[in-house]
Structure 1
Amino acid sequence: MDLPPFPTPRSPEEAVALQRVLSERLILEGSLEGVRRVAALDAAHKKGKPLVAVAVLYHLEKGPLFVGRGVVEETGLFPYIPGLLSFREAPAYLEALRALPEPPEALLVDGQGIAHPRRLGIAAHLGLHLDLPAVGVAKRLLYGRPQGPLPEEAGSHVPLLSPKGELLGFLYRSRRGVKPLVVSPGHRVGPWEALAFVRALPTRYRLPEPLRLAHLEAGKALKALD
């Protein structure tokens, strides 16, 4: 895949300003109906080691097809600052996506979409950068408040709202007895459509299967560097 390079801000202040500008360009409507090839993205990093990112090309009917990997040396990483994760991890993700034999139709990212203080989490940033539909599935809540309590039943969800009452996404319980996930649209997909897409993915454990595989592959890739 021939992908454009990711911008590298010179300071955290410049990164925040860029996020505010880019968030205005997001398209938060659209459906993922008919999408079959998804790139599931996850990354792993340990102090003193490079950051490793993986892109699992996953066919929704055939399963995993290919794993692309990207590595960025620790000295080349943008500083770890909450809310600015995309500037740290995206260059490795782009390298992993370049390794895929065919382009995905959508991105499924371990991270936030618009459930982010400036509405530009890593799923939104990557989706906009590549002009691909993107959905964020995060393990922790970064921004927003649930509209109410989340039931314990598998498949239950509750809207996640901004301080102004805007819909940012959903808390979603994929399986009974597991902690909820944060599902939010990134780009070229609506909030309800993003939730419907994630709910329809095969899910044996807490994470949807494509992201679970990406998480495992990222862990193996990091361990291989030891």
Structure 2
Amino acid sequence: MSALFPTPRDLKSASQLQRELAARVLLTGDLTGVRKVAALDASSRRGEPLVAAAVLWDLAEERVLEVSVAATPPEGLFPYVPGFLSFREAPTYLAALAALSEVPDLLLVDGQGVAHPRGLGIAAHLGVHLDLPSLGVAKSLLYGVPAGELPEEAGSAVPLTARSAQLGWVYRSRARVKPLYLSPGHRLGLREGLELIRALPAPTKLPEPLRQAHLWAGRARREGLRGRFTPQRP
């Protein structure tokens, strides 16, 4: 599905590569033709393999079409360093994506897009590497500040900014719960990314495709699941 994912020798070369790839990010694009979204999440524990799940979600039918799971042993992982997590997690995500029966129209990633100190969170890194539209949905703030106070109502959003530029959104998916941090990764506009998340079902804090990816990644780690699965239709 993609060329070999480059692994830097050290943090200096990793930082340089991030800046080079960030220069290729496009923050324009709409949802025309987007129907099948791959939601990505990972699960790991110290000393165990990193397990990644790719959930292929049909926007029109609002259901999971298939799931693929891949794993990387701990000795094959890039060191855990905040700000450089894409080098640790992306190869396993790529393996999970490659196991899907079709290429998704868009990536929905548990992590940052351009809301990153060097402009290349994992959603941006994967988006540029695969040349696919991508959106990061993070549960915690890494970079930037909210431009105002976020209302308590579900669906509320305020811009997430840094150095006078908007990087994404602080978004309240459920009333009176902690917000999510949305930032486009590649080939997607700021407004379009927010529209996508608002349109997705969200019975819990996370949009349903990402909730499913989270559940599958945790289950796969606990039960040792690997490969591709086709859930039964309800």
Summarize deviations over 1:112-145 as a string: whole Å, max 9, x none. 0000001100000000000000000000000000
SS of 1:70's partner is strand
Query: What residue number does 2:115 align with?
Result: 115
Query: Where does residue 216 of structure 1 map in the other structure?
Result: 215
What SS does the aligned partner of 1:221 have?
helix
Q: Which residue of 2 aligns with 1:52?
A: 51
Q: Structure 1 residue 12: deviation in Å?
A: 1.0
SS in 2 for 1:108: strand
Which residue of structure 2 lines up, in the alignment, with residue 65 of structure 1?
A: 65
Three-state SS of the structure 1 residue aligned to 2:201 is coil
Amino acid corresponding to residue 26 of structure 1 in structure 2: V
SS in 2 for 1:66: strand
Whole-angstrom CA distance in 1 between matches of 2:100 and 2:176: 35
Taking the aligned partners of 1:192 and 1:60, their CA distance within structure 2 comes to 18
Aligned positions of 1:124-203 closer than 5 A: 124-162=124-162, 164-203=163-202
Name structure 1 gaps, 5 residues minimum: none
Letter in 1 for 2:136: G
After the TM superposition, which segments of 4 or more aligned residues of structure 1 sit over 6 Å from their partners?
Answer: none
Instruction: Give the alignment of 1:71-82 within 5 angstroms.
Output: 71-82=71-82
Q: Distance in 1 between matches of 2:184 and 2:154?
A: 21
Taking structure 2 as the reference length, the TM-score comes to: 0.94
Shift of 1:177: 2.1
The 3-state SS of whatever aligns with 1:117 is coil
CA distance in 1, matches of 2:5, 2:69: 17
User: What residue is the counterpart of 2:232 in the other structure?
Assistant: none
Percent identity between matched residues is: 60
Q: Does 1:90 align with 2:82?
A: no
Count of aligned pairs between the two proteins: 224
Q: Structure 2 regions of 5+ residues with no counterpart?
A: 226-234
The question of whether the paired residues in 1 share the 8 Å contact of 2:48 and 2:73 is answered with: yes
Q: CA deviation at 1:110?
A: 0.3
Aligned equivalents of 1:78, 1:12: Cα separation in 2: 10
The aligned amino acid for 2:152 is: E
In structure 2, distance between residues paired with 1:122 and 1:173: 22
Distance across 2 between alignment mates of 1:32 and 1:41: 19
RMSD over aligned CA atoms reads 1.0
SS at match of 2:115: coil
Q: Which residue of 2 aligns with 1:12?
A: 11
Q: CA deviation at 1:33?
A: 3.3
Describe the SS at the equivalent of 2:164: coil
Rounded Cα–Cα distance in structure 2 between residues aligned with 1:86 and 1:57:
21
The alpha-carbon deviation at position 106 of structure 1 amounts to: 0.4
> SS where residue 27 of structure 1 aligns?
coil
The whole-number CA distance in structure 2 between the counterparts of 1:82 and 1:47 is 16
Distance 1:134 1:211 in 2: 13
**In 2, Cα distance between equivalents of 1:75 and 1:32:** 39
Give the deviation of 1:34 after TM superposition. 3.3
Deviation at 1:15, TM superposition (A): 0.3
